[in-house]
Amino acid sequence: MRKIVITSGKGGVGKTTVTALLGRKLAERGARVVLVDGDVGLNNLDVVMGVENKVVYDVSDVLDGRCRLSQALVIDNESGVAVLPSSSRKFDVSAQAFRGVIESIRGADFVLIDCPAGIEEGFHRAVSSADECIVVTTPSASAIRDADKVVALLSSYRLNDVGLVVNRVRYDMIARGDMLSAKEIGNLLHLGVVGVIPEDDHVTVYQQLGRVPDFAVSEKCAEYLADNVEKGTKQLVEPYMKRRWRLR
């Protein structure tokens, strides 16, 4: 079972959306996937997955012994992905207790943990429960700066691998020299790029329905991301630039 935390230094970069896209794409390849919402109090992974109406229990109920883990898991009928919702109320949960919940998951090939933004207690709780990490950033200067702070902190954890996803890329702006490319951002952060997701209005319009349509460009780019994650590679594919780089 591969435990991967998806994190970011800055809120609003699309971390939860990337988690959902990746989870669905891995499931389409036949993997058994569990998505865990690690954001206590500001949880919305169930909303992004379109399963919020099915939620009866959440991770706080599991930790307090009010239900079994299997009872708290909500299944997305279309993709088969299981979602462990977080609580909308603030409650104290130690990193050890949260890690115990993650470790008790059985039968999954991938456990993707949606980490709270920032570098507070929730960050430590989520990252310490994983073996691998994906850092999500946008090309904005503030998001890259905050991602750099997160990357520095990650060096203190025992992670087998750390990759980078650059979200909301605008290829017209890159062509004009107004935006850094994913390759340049990866070089700045000293991380291999595992995924590039372009700015796509379909994500905003359709994610409330629980799925982005197959014709959306972000869906194709999510395929490249899932391919890298599944194979453990860092092949940077930027479709509109018609080039491929293999980063080491």
CATH of the domain at 143: 3.40.50.300
Check: CB of residue 52 under 8 Å from CB of residue 82: no
Torsion of CA 90, 91, 96, 97, to 10 degrees: -120
Query: What percentage of residues in the chain have a pLDDT greater than 70?
Result: 87
Phi and psi, residue 197, nearest 5°: -115, 115
The tokens for 221 are: 């780019």
Across 153-167, 206-220, 230-244, the highest mean pLDDT is recorded for 153-167
The tokens for 232 are: 């453990």
| Count: domains in the chain | 1
On the question of pLDDT at 113 being above 90, the answer is: yes
pLDDT band at 92 (very low <50, low <70, confident <90, very high): confident
On the question of pLDDT at 89 being above 90, the answer is: no
CA distance 238 to 166: 11
Phi and psi, residue 29, nearest 5°: -85, 5
Mean pLDDT across 215-227: 80
Mean pLDDT across 54-61: 92
- Under DSSP, is residue 166 helix (H, G, I), strand (E, B) or coil? strand
The tokens for 138 are: 């946008």
Identity (one letter) of the amino acid at 175?
A
- Of 165-174, 214-223, 226-235, the poorest mean pLDDT is in 214-223
pLDDT band at 248 (very low <50, low <70, confident <90, very high): very low
pLDDT band at 220 (very low <50, low <70, confident <90, very high): confident
Closest CA relative to residue 56, chosen from 94, 83, 27: 83
pLDDT for res 120:
81
Mean pLDDT (the chain) is 86
Domain that holds residue 87: 2-246
pLDDT band at 172 (very low <50, low <70, confident <90, very high): confident
CA distance 127 to 134: 10
Burial of 30 (0-12, 13-18, 19+ CB in 10 A): exposed
pLDDT for res 78:
86
pLDDT band at 244 (very low <50, low <70, confident <90, very high): very low
On the question of pLDDT at 74 being above 80, the answer is: yes
Which residues fall within 8 angstroms of residue 92, CB to CB, at 6 or more apart?
Answer: none
pLDDT for res 118:
77
Which residues fall within 8 angstroms of residue 214, CB to CB, at 6 or more apart?
Answer: none
**Which residue bears the tokens 């909308």?**
88
Mean pLDDT across 3-17: 91
pLDDT for res 87:
80
